[in-house]
Amino acid sequence: MKKIFVDTGAWAALNNKRDKFHSDSVVVNKSLLNEGYFYITTDYVLDETYTLLLYDIGHKRAVELGNEIILLNKKKKIRIVHITDELLTAAWDIFIKYEDKDFSFTDCTSFTVMKNLKTDEAFSFDKHFEQYGFIRHPHKQ
């Protein structure tokens, strides 16, 4: 099964019609699902996503997405990785090492999870995934 990490920007764009990447996210999402990709994300990414949606389009949509994610997780249609102490330490090491980049700490936790799960593909509009060496979908924006 092909695995792909889903980042905050992808979740947000899919769920906010006013997002500048909304149309692209819908096309990429359909393509990835048709190709049989299994989605992986983290509690940190979901935290960012719900907060972003709350501020950008309101509480209702943030809650709707949260309920959809909970259902997908219960049905084993998505994997939510919780950031453990071990992952936190590895992410911190990345954060310290790359002082020349502006990786967010959440980016660093995502990179760590991707390495641990041996997936090199991300559904993201964030160039940092490419800078770290991963394949980003969409490839260009």
Q: Consecutive sets of 10 residues in the chain, 141 residues long: mean pLDDT of each?
A: 96 97 97 97 98 97 97 97 98 96 97 98 97 91 54
Residue whose tokens read 């760590």: 112
Phi, psi of 59 (to 5 degrees): -60, -40
Pairing of strands 38-42, 121-123: unpaired
State residue 86's pLDDT score.
98
State residue 1's pLDDT score.
83
- CA 19 – CA 33 distance, rounded (Å): 21
pTM: 0.95
Domain boundaries, the chain: 3-137
Distance from the first to the final alpha carbon of the chain: 26
State residue 140's pLDDT score.
65
Q: Is 140 left (phi over 0), alpha (psi -120 to 50) or beta?
A: beta
Q: Which CATH number fits domain 3-137: 3.30.720.120, 3.40.50.1010, 3.40.30.10, 3.40.50.720?
A: 3.40.50.1010
Q: CB neighbours of 22 closer than 8 A, spacing ≥ 6?
A: 13, 14, 16
State residue 104's pLDDT score.
96
